[in-house]
Structure 1
Amino acid sequence: MITHRLRPLTLALAATSLLALAHGSACAQSPYPSRPIKLIVPYAAGGTVDVFARIVTPGLEAKLKQAVVVDNVPGAGGTLGVNKGVKSAPDGYTIVMGIVSDVVLAPLTESTVTYSHKDLDAIAPLGTSGLAMVAKPSLGINSFASLISYAKAHPGKLSYGATGAGSLPALAMESLKQRAKVDIEFIPYASASKIALDLMGGHLDIALSGLPALLEPIKSGKMTPVGVMSKERDLGAPELGAAGETAELAGMDFYFWTGLFAPKGTPPDIIAKLNQAFSDVLADEKVRTKFKDYGVKISPPMTPVQFTAFVAKSHSDWSAVVKQSGLKVK
């Protein structure tokens, strides 16, 4: 009798369980993406990488049919943001806009950085952009030659700011100091925006940062351009001299590359979908024009496998540069 009374309840519970399983299965099979995506930018709002992210975000949203929310995580030369990305769930709902400094260089030069480029899945490259040097206007330094001359006449009196000891700007400046045999004090900063404020406020002599973020203050006269740290002049400001044009700095060639990454272990089909969406956005002429205005040379489309190989080669190349520079791991 008791068994018969429980049978309807048992059947009802079984039916409910089957419906729940069916619903769970349907959710698991929902096409990616089915909810908003977080795009980590390892730098403060208004900086070069943040500007890049906000240029591509509307296009990504249109291609993926989901909101793409920029999450600024500044600090420690970009490594805090990348580390957050590395530790995120590899489900495609957290991606990172990384650059050579935080993805490749920091792990080579900072003992506190616990990740490597291998802890990220490479999605697609964005492009390359210039690394520029600027000075406070009152110094009267407006070229690499005048910088070297001033530094030699005032040893140890100049200071320069860059994001993190292991960043590309810091490595480039330390290389310049070695080549030109000058003594300029290094002051590490957490963000490029704070560097710019201190330079414009007269609290810092020299600054190195991504050229795109410096174009406006250069045009307004708040900063004096010294030049770009590459062997050739930059697409975004061809009027600026290149380090390679100065005899003491011949052979110098420092520039940024930027790309999109995901936590290691993100499913290949999701990586492929993000790669296609990002590549499509960068193919749009309006987007390309915006990047050209910032001096960004858009990279040719690459598959995730090709971009992974590119990042691995960058790691190998910079390992050799860091070793040659004698820069100590801190």
Structure 2
Amino acid sequence: MSDTFEIFLACAPGLEAVLAQEAKALGFGPLRMAAGGIAFDGTWGDVQCANLRLRGAARVLARIGGFPAVHLAQLDKRSRKFPWAEVLRPDVPVKVEATTARSRIYHAGAAKQRVETAITEELGAPISDDGVRILARLEDNLVTFSVDTSGEPLHRRGHKPAVGKAPMRETLAALFLRDCGFDGTEPVIDPMCGSGTFVLEAAEIAMGLAPGRSRSFDLERLATFDAEAWQALKAQPVQPPEGPPRFLGYDRDAGAARNAAANAERAGVAAISAFACQPISALERPDGPPGLVMVNPPWGARIGKPGPLHALHKSLGDVLKERFRGWRVGLVTSDAGLARSTGLTFKPPGPVVSHGSLKIRLYRTDLL
């Protein structure tokens, strides 16, 4: 293996361009766009930085090499000669997943078995469902190996155990905030905050907190792991909070508001955030400069029947138009009709984004 290799940053399809903006801001590149993510050539240091600091990536894959193979015997022989020890440890279990496309080796299960056998017999690493994931892609008779360096999906930040009904993934929330132009310098309000995802992500961005600071990664189980460099990376300074809370969340469910406040405490952003139980009708513009209202209201496929929700969206729009002049609004929904019910003037909607089995879009306004 060379010192540099391809690193693939996976994200929700539809948000590749927004993730590219974040990756470029962190100094990664040159970037190559692909379906479901972006790629660039980098080092194991870049892998560590990407996992720790990227807010919008779902996973970080290290493409560690490959070879041509047109039949199983060839796959077996060349897998045994592959330099697994440069990346994997013999005392750490692995889990192999294989996919095939337009390849003379068409049986993914047989390919998986050959690679597993090569790793266990040549390296000594056991096979286990909780092992480091090795992804073997057989396409056009070329085998490519990737290591999932993240382990658990990156939206699992590690400091937000309390979640509400139908939560927004943190990675999506971070990219939607960025797509609305948020850079950490303005206030953010979520009038239907649930477990507080938008508010917490905004507050963490403002304080310069690394999203991966509270969790572990599978990169720490690899032979390439540099513990000293990792500790130095995690020790980068944090922007101390100043002034009154600038990141506010409200929910009509008192339990949701309490959970969001507890999540903020665990995340270390309680000093600049606040949560309260109140309905949309009680929402007031705070003192100070204008900012961003970021909201993921309930919509039919997510919470309940769409009929009664139109009135809720109209009430939200009426309050924002009346009390939040000079602010911007970002609204996430799967239902264009509900967005129209707000009466707000939106820019052309963002791309369709896959959120599990659902398809959602971001609707943005200019200054109200």
Q: TM-score, normalised by structure 1?
A: 0.26
Greater relative CO, 1 or 2 (CA 8 Å, sep 6+)? 1
Whose helix fraction is larger, Structure 1's or Structure 2's? 1
Q: TM-score, normalised by structure 2?
A: 0.24
